[in-house]
Amino acid sequence: MIRFLIGLIVGIFLVACGTYYYFTSGMAPVAATAQPMPFERLLAKDALHAKIRSEALATSPIQATPANLLAGAQVYSHDCAFCHGLSSAQVSPEGRGMFPHAPQLFTPDGMVTDDPPGITYWKVKNGIRLTGMPSFEKSLTDQQMWQVSLLLRNADKLPADVSAALAPAAEPAPASTPPKAKPR
């Protein structure tokens, strides 16, 4: 029995040392373009969902009025679309370069309309570690974070003026180059 316990302790110690060496020697994939580590997605997702379940507010302190949705669209266009895209738009180069990829929140696969606004608010306020999702707690007001959260909750049923505010801007026409002067 004593040999078994000593073997167990030595085994746990060796696994811990090997894991430490793996991460501190530069072998762990940390680049956004690298393949995920074993169990990385599962563990990170489970930890995130558990934290949000324990801290997210159940109800929004503001209502999803047309004015709040329009204000949310303006905040989203300025602060979120860079990574998460606009309605009917291609994924931004920045969004494609992230790992994990930034969800495109106005596409059918990326919408969070099933999430209560408190969950989206938590993500906007706190950010999500190891994803590129920053915390907006110090750059947006609580009202702005709730407006964006309500916008995303209602992304599949927005009023026309709010949808228009989220439409991608037309690409500017390329500037014409002036004709070269003829040498004299």
158 pLDDT higher than 90: yes
- Give the tokens for residue 66: 């047309």
Count of positions (residues) in the chain: 184
Contact at 8 Å (CB) between 155 and 106?
yes
172 pLDDT higher than 60: no
**Which range among 32-46, 108-122, 169-183 shows the weakest confidence by mean pLDDT?**
169-183
Span 77-134, pLDDT tens digits: 999 999 998 876 677 777 778 888 888 999 888 899 999 999 999 999 999 987 889 9
Mean local confidence (pLDDT), 142-162: 97
For the chain, which domains are there?
57-165 (1.10.760.10)
What pLDDT, on the 0 to 100 scale, is given for residue 171? Answer: 56
The residue that leads in pLDDT, 162 or 1, is 162
The residue that leads in pLDDT, 130 or 152, is 152
Percent of the chain with pLDDT over 70: 89
What pLDDT, on the 0 to 100 scale, is given for residue 162? Answer: 96
Mean local confidence (pLDDT), 124-149: 94
Mean local confidence (pLDDT), 160-176: 76
- Give the tokens for residue 134: 């920053």
Q: How far apart are CA 166 and CA 151, in angstroms?
A: 11
What mean pLDDT is reported for the chain?
87
Mean local confidence (pLDDT), 58-76: 96
What pLDDT, on the 0 to 100 scale, is given for residue 51? Answer: 93
pLDDT bin (cut points 50, 70, 90) of residue 16 is very high
pLDDT bin (cut points 50, 70, 90) of residue 138 is very high
Kindly report each contact of residues 122-128 with a partner whose C-beta sits within 8 Å and lies 24 or more positions away, as own/partner. Answer: 122/52, 122/55, 122/56, 122/57, 123/52, 124/148, 124/149, 128/48
Tell me the CA end-to-end span of the chain in Å, nearest whole number.
100
